[in-house]
């Protein structure tokens, strides 16, 4: 069973994906996430470790893991039914060597035994930038990057979160639109890079 089948079947049955989303799983969800992982964008370096915060049904973390066999992914999800779905999905998709599920709230992870930090942290439709920065960037190593998949108001969110971004050590932030010729509407990503020396 492929990932789209898991979303349309068990994912819908367990309330992780709404029934109305099934006809547009590919364009609105899977490809919307996949265009960010395209090596051409250079946003996700080869060999890096990615954390997907509030992973839910595995968007974008599972999509990236499937599209990029050269990366490792940590799916961070506090809710039991979602974490159970994700665990079953990585077994079904034979991704257990590179993908793990951590059932926890992101803000509780930094400093816990075994948490070494990641190179890239991502979240899709989880929270406004002002809150998201505090939940995600502490999970990264120095020089880490936040890739936040956002909607049309991404630039406004960034503008409203400038002070929070600066306080979190962000030295560069940009809003990109990706997926021309692949997805419509285009995928909007906020890229926030931290200083290598913190």
Give the tens place of pLDDT for each residue, 100-146.
999 999 999 998 888 889 999 999 988 999 999 999 999 999 999 99
From the number of C-beta atoms within 10 Å of its C-beta (0-12, 13-18, 19+), residue 94 rates as exposed
Domain 3-194: top CATH class = alpha beta
Domains of the chain: which residue ranges?
A: 3-194
Q: What is the DSSP track for 108-175?
A: G-TTSTT---EEEEEEESSS-HHHHHHHHGGGEEEEEEEEEEE-TTHHHHHHHTHHHHHHTTEEEEEE
Give every CB contact of residue 105 below 8 A, 6+ residues apart in sequence: 78
Which pTM was predicted? 0.95
Q: What is the pLDDT of residues 44-65, one digit of tens each?
A: 999 999 999 999 999 999 999 9
Q: What are the CA-CA distances from residue 5 to residues 2, 22, 23, 99, 181 (Å)?
A: 5, 10, 12, 19, 24
- Check whether the bond before 76 is cis (ω within 30° of 0): no
Q: What is the pLDDT of residues 17-27, one digit of tens each?
A: 999 998 999 98
pLDDT of amino acid 125: 84
């Amino acid at each position: 069973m492929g990932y789209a089948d898991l979303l349309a079947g068990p994912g819908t049955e367990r309330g992780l994906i709404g029934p109305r989303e099934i006809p547009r799983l590919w364009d609105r969800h899977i490809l919307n996430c996949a265009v960010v992982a395209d090596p051409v964008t250079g946003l996700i370096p080869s060999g890096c470790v990615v954390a997907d915060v509030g992973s839910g049904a595995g968007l974008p973390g599972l999509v990236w893991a499937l599209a990029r066999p050269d990366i490792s992914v940590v799916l961070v999800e506090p809710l039991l039914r979602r974490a159970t779905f994700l665990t079953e999905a990585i077994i079904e998709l034979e991704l257990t060597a590179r993908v793990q599920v951590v059932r926890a709230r992101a803000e509780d992870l930094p400093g816990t035994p075994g948490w070494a930090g990641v190179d890239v942290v991502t979240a899709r439709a989880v929270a406004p930038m002002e809150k998201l920065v505090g939940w995600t960037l502490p999970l990264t190593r120095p020089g880490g990057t936040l890739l936040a998949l956002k909607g049309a108001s991404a630039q406004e969110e960034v503008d409203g979160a400038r002070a929070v971004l600066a306080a979190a050590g962000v030295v560069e932030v940009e809003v990109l639109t990706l997926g021309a010729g692949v997805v419509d509407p285009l995928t909007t990503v906020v890229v926030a890079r931290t200083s290598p020396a913190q």
